Structures are given as C-alpha cells and as structure tokens.
Amino acid sequence: MVKYSIIFALCLYLPTVLCLPEEMQELVTMLHGTCVAETGVSEDLIVRVNKEKKMIDDDKLKCYIKCLLTQTACISDDGVVDVEATIALLPDEMRKVSEPIIRKCGAKMGANPCESAWLTHKCYMESNPDVSFRNNVIAEYTLLD
C-alpha cells in the first residue's frame, strides 16, 4: 500500500479515482481531505487546474501540493523534493513513463517549502502534459468525468 502512495505525490488532485482499487481510492480520498482541510484550498481551483492542465499560482494550492508530498514522505521539512524516494515509490506500471520526468525536473526550489513543491509539480506537468494526464499517470486522483 505504501508503494502506491506516490500516486498522490505525482498527481495532485482529488477524489474520484476510476482506475485504482477501492482501498487505494479510500486512501487517496483521505489524504486529499486531510490536505484540503489543512490548507483551505478550493475544490474549484483543483478542478480548474485539472481541466486546464496548467498550474495556477495560488498559495493554498502550493501548500496543498506540499501537504500531499509530506504525507507521502517525498519532501523534506525545508521543501526539498526527494527524487529517489519519489521514484522508489512508483508502481511498476508508472515507472517507465514517470521516472524520466521526475529525474528531469529534480527538486525545484522556491521561496518556501510550499512553493518548492508547487514548482516541482509544475515542472512535471509542463514537461509532458500528455503523459501527465493520460491514463491518470500524474493526475491519478483528478476529478474525472
């Protein structure tokens, strides 16, 4: 189960998970709820990011992403994304596509830990948006129609 927690770190968004087993969906929903409550990020903003496939510069969104990375042990307290830990937690079926993106992006550094998490995810998304959103590779818990 822990192995699959990286789905959150790569993904970014929320509740309805059509391609995950039920227990994984529950875990995703729980972490999403925890991080929304902790940061106060708007569900509408998360939906907008997913629909537009573009990161929006919003402080609450930045801290939401950091919260997800913290929950999956993929970021240090000072905001450095652990590339190796992120890759190590990837499910086998995601590794081939996602590992090159994660390695290319590395750990982006911003003005604070929340911004660092956001910049890293922004890099994932911008590096290959088709991969990022195809088959829920990066947006594993995106709201899907």
Q: What is the pLDDT of residue 24?
A: 63
Contacts of 106 (CB under 8 A, 6+ apart): 81, 83, 120
b/e map of 28-47 (b: 16 or more CB within 10 Å)?
beebbeebbeebebeeeebe
The reported pLDDT for the residue numbered 126 is 86
Give which of 44, 53, 15, 43 is closest to 141, Cα–Cα. Answer: 15
User: What pLDDT score was predicted for residue 51?
Assistant: 79
Q: Assess contact for 98 and 90: CB atoms under 8 A.
A: yes
Provide the residue ranges of all domains of the chain, joining segments of one domain with +. 2-136
- Alpha-carbon distance values, 119 to 7, 62, 114 (Å): 18, 8, 9
pLDDT number for residue 22? 65
Which pLDDT value is given to residue 129?
A: 67
Question: Which residue ranges in the chain fall short of pLDDT 70?
Answer: 1-25, 129-145
pTM: 0.78
Per-residue confidence (pLDDT) for residue 131, from 0 to 100:
54
Cβ-contact 114, 75 below 8 angstroms? no
What is the second-level CATH architecture of the domain 2-136? Orthogonal Bundle (1.10)
Name the H helices within the chain.
Answer: 6-11, 22-39, 43-52, 59-71, 83-88, 92-105, 113-127, 129-133
